[in-house]
A and B are shown apart, each in its own frame.
Chain A
């Protein structure tokens, strides 16, 4: 089970990188990213079992990016970490296009990482399909990943030491859809348990 740090990688979608290529040469970036662009989702983001996703009152909608979550097992310090399980994930965020400073407020809100049920890793993955209120609104293939899963894990493990219980979101589609209050969201992909959540108003007691 997830019991460590939840890492994610931004700007790992080839289409998004191509579309933004010019901007990477402008301030404040200056040049394109060399290392994988990592972020962390706090434990308070993670929900499971179809739990609703809270929409903070000041946000009209949230970006909902379908992705695959890897769960690490095996022994820490190993040359190459085992991926012991995978699940579908929905990385929820406040839409942002500024990648200069860490997007803490945008990415780290309570309930902003619904996970599907864990299952065994597969050798290949089908399209990740997102439906809102029963209608398909987005579909992407992990073939779009600039750093494919194995290369990404190897690059990061060289300086991060993934431990058993850590989680990695392998990349986000640059054209992720958005969802609003009351909408029901499903992410499905052949061979993986589907993920379902509903966008509800955030209640803070």
Chain B
């Protein structure tokens, strides 16, 4: 099952995706997917964690050492933009790069969950394009929010796929294409801290709530985008997230 959040008939609604082009609303109404605008499948008060330096190849590319504990940062709700949405490339910025990520969506409250049953608390998965704008990096609470939580610079979606339809989250290929050219390619096998470890790690000190998300980091491939680019992030079995880059903001 896939669940999408859409804007339709003047409202934000959650809908089931029956096949690739039919949405079913809660009242049973069927509508073609192209009649909907895709919203990021997240509620505004969800806690959204993201991981830096979580793929061995990407760490090497940036010249860092693997972290001993997860490098976690948080995102504010204005950062998110849905499938087919537009992300602003700030005027004057040159170093904005997409990051394709598998996102785990928490399904039930989790506190002090052990790694061995942590995946029982994951309700589904989606895809993120976690853009960074490297010019704004500073060494205070790095990666700082000006780099990682700018309005509309984290694509999310198109939908949330039930965890049971995914199977092992650590055996999925992921890729990014910019205007059709592949710029990132990797496998979730190469995560330093896997999904189950992250649920255990975070729930050890706080309660994870349904709808909270963990963006699990990105593999190698730093490619700077330009205005007008079409960026497609794809995670095997989960989805294909399209984002457009426009100068502005």
Task: Pick from B44, B72, B151, B207: contact of A104, CB below 8 A.
Answer: B72
What residues on A are CB-neighbors of B8 within 8 Å? none
Contact status A3-B45, CB under 8 Å = yes
Q: How many chain A residues have a CB neighbour from B under 8 Å?
A: 41
**Residue B47 interfacial (CB < 8 Å):** yes
**A204 contacts B111, CB within 8 Å?**
yes
The CA of A5 and the CA of B136, in the complex, are separated in Å by: 21
How many contacts between A and B, using CB within 8 angstroms?
A: 112
Q: Which one of B121-129, B138-146, B185-193 is at the interface?
A: B138-146
A204/B151 in contact, CB under 8 A? no
| Inter-subunit contact B74/A101 (CB<8 Å) | no
B3 part of interface (Cβ distance < 8 Å) = no
How many interface residues does chain B have, given as a range? 35 or more
- A102 and B72 within 8 A (CB): yes
A121-175, CB < 8 A from B: 159-163, 165-166
Residues of B close to A163: CB separation below 8 A: 44, 77-78
Contacts of B141 in A (CB 8 A): 10, 37-39, 99-103
Residue B75 at the chain A interface, CB threshold 8 Å: yes
B30 to chain A, nearest CB (A): 31
A28 on interface, CB distance cutoff 8 Å: yes
Bound-state Cα–Cα, A4 to B48, Å: 12
**B contact patch SS:** loop
Asked if A44 and B209 make an inter-chain contact with CB atoms under 8 angstroms apart, the answer reads yes
- B145-162 interface with A by 8 A CB criterion: 145-146, 149-152
A163 to B112, CA, bound (A): 32
A4 close to B151 (CB less than 8 A): no
Given A5-B45, A163-B44, do A29 and B140 touch, yes or no (CB 8 Å)? yes
A71-102 CB contact bits vs B (8 Å, 1 = yes)?
00000100000000000000000000001111
Chain A residues with Cβ below 8 Å from B90 are 159
Q: Specify which of A4, A37, A104, A105 is in contact with B45 (CB 8 Å cutoff).
A: A4
Contact A102–B206 (Cβ < 8 Å): no
Q: How near does chain B come to A168, taking the closest CB pair, in angstroms? A: 10
The reply on B71 being an interface residue by CB < 8 A is yes
A76–B145 Cα distance when bound, in Å, is 19
Across the interface, which residues of B come within 8 angstroms of A56, CB to CB?
A: 205
Residue from the set B46, B76, B90, B149 with the largest chain A CB neighbour count within 10 Å: B76
- Residue of A whose beta carbon sits closest to that of B211: A43
- Contact in complex: B78, A160 (CB < 8 Å): yes
Q: Is B73 an interface residue (CB 8 A)?
A: yes
Task: Tell me if A34 counts as interface (CB < 8 A to partner B).
Answer: yes
Q: How many Å lie between the Cα of A76 and that of B76 in the bound state?
A: 14
A110 at the interface (CB under 8 A from B): yes
Give the residues in chain A near B140, CB-CB below 8 Å. 10-11, 29, 33, 37, 99-100
Q: Which 6 A-B pairs have the closest CB atoms?
A: A40-B74, A42-B47, A5-B76, A161-B151, A161-B78, A38-B145
Residues of B within 8 A of A (CB): 44-47, 49, 71-78, 90, 111-112, 136, 138-146, 149-152, 205-207, 209, 212, 249
20 A/B residue pairs, CB under 8 Å, sorted by A: A4-B44, A5-B77, A10-B141, A29-B140, A31-B139, A35-B136, A38-B149, A39-B141, A40-B76, A42-B74, A43-B47, A44-B47, A100-B141, A108-B74, A159-B151, A160-B151, A161-B78, A161-B152, A162-B78, A165-B44
